[in-house]
Structure 1
Amino acid sequence: MKLGGMSFFQLASQRMTWLGARQAVISENVANADTPDYKAKKVSGFDAMLENADAMQGLKVTDTRHITSSGETPNGVRVTADEDAWEGSIDGNTVALEQQTIDAAEVAGSYRLAAELYRRGHSLLTIAVTGVR
């Protein structure tokens, strides 16, 4: 039995993928905090990722090394400029390290929750199949 085909496990897996993409964007923002004219980025919401996962726009990506066409990753996550960035510096950089730290902590907590739900779902499925705890 493939766990990925069950909707609960598929949704939890997609959520973890989205959180990973969000953490990568936060890391990129932090790495470029001192780069002149760098604009902070953010990812689309989880609901937008779910809508875009099957209906990708632009060029078909058949290999993970291909360049995507419209700011989307192959898993449907759209990366855009963060218009709600807290501040801008004199050199044009819009990354606020405080905002990125808060976002990173939120992602870490959400990832732990998704991983725990996935683990609990697996445990319940195991109990249902085997009858043994």
Structure 2
Amino acid sequence: MFEKLELTRMAQALAAQSGARMAVIAENVANADTPGYKAKDVPAFSEVYEAGGLDMRATRPGHLVGHAAANLPAPDLVRGHESPNGNSVSLEAEMVKSVEARQSHEMALAIYRATSDVVRASLGRPR
């Protein structure tokens, strides 16, 4: 039922994008001392959404295959200063990005929770 609401589909895609970004950030932090490692990041959700990166709306089952979370963009290399060993990971920048990703994920969950509360209230069911 919830997957038919555009707002919940967008919130699910935002949560998936935030999770993917956290995974890339964790990989960057894990390789902070690896010589030659280049930092990566996932494009911002707003850029992907504005570029039409979300799935089209299906008109019937089987019409379109896939899900917005499955079509997340691949991580890109981040330009920045490199250390003498060629590593471009900045732990400070990764901390800032992790906070942004956590806030986006929490916002997506809050939207999904609020939407489910509205649907429950419209059906006359308590929390």
Q: TM-score range by the shorter chain?
A: 0.7 to 0.9
1:85-130 CA-partner distances (Å, limit 9, x unpaired): 3x32110000000100111011112211211111011001110122
When normalised by structure 1's length, the TM-score is: 0.76
Asked if structure 2 preserves the Cα contact closer than 8 Å seen for 1:39 and 1:94, the reply is yes
5+ residue gaps in structure 2? Answer: 57-68
Alignment of 1:8-47 (within 5 A): 8-47=7-46
Alignment of 1:92-131 (within 5 A): 92-130=86-124
Aligned to 1:80: 76
Distance 1:97 1:130 in 2: 49
Identity of matched residues, %: 32
Distance 1:74 1:131 in 2: 33
Q: Which has the higher contact order (CA 8 A, sep 6+)?
A: 2
SS of residue in 2 equivalent to 1:52: coil
Distance change in 2, residues 1:43/1:112 (3 Å): same
Alignment of 1:55-70 (within 5 A): none
- Pairwise CA distance, 1:52: 3.4
Moved over 4 A (4+): none
Tell me if 1:52 matches 2:53: yes
> Which one-letter code corresponds to 1:21 in the other structure?
A
- Pairwise CA distance, 1:53: 4.4
Distance change in 2, residues 1:8/1:91 (3 Å): same
Distance 2:54 2:115 in 1: 23
Asked if structure 1 preserves the Cα contact closer than 8 Å seen for 2:8 and 2:111, the reply is no
When normalised by structure 2's length, the TM-score is: 0.79
5+ residue gaps in structure 1? Answer: 56-72
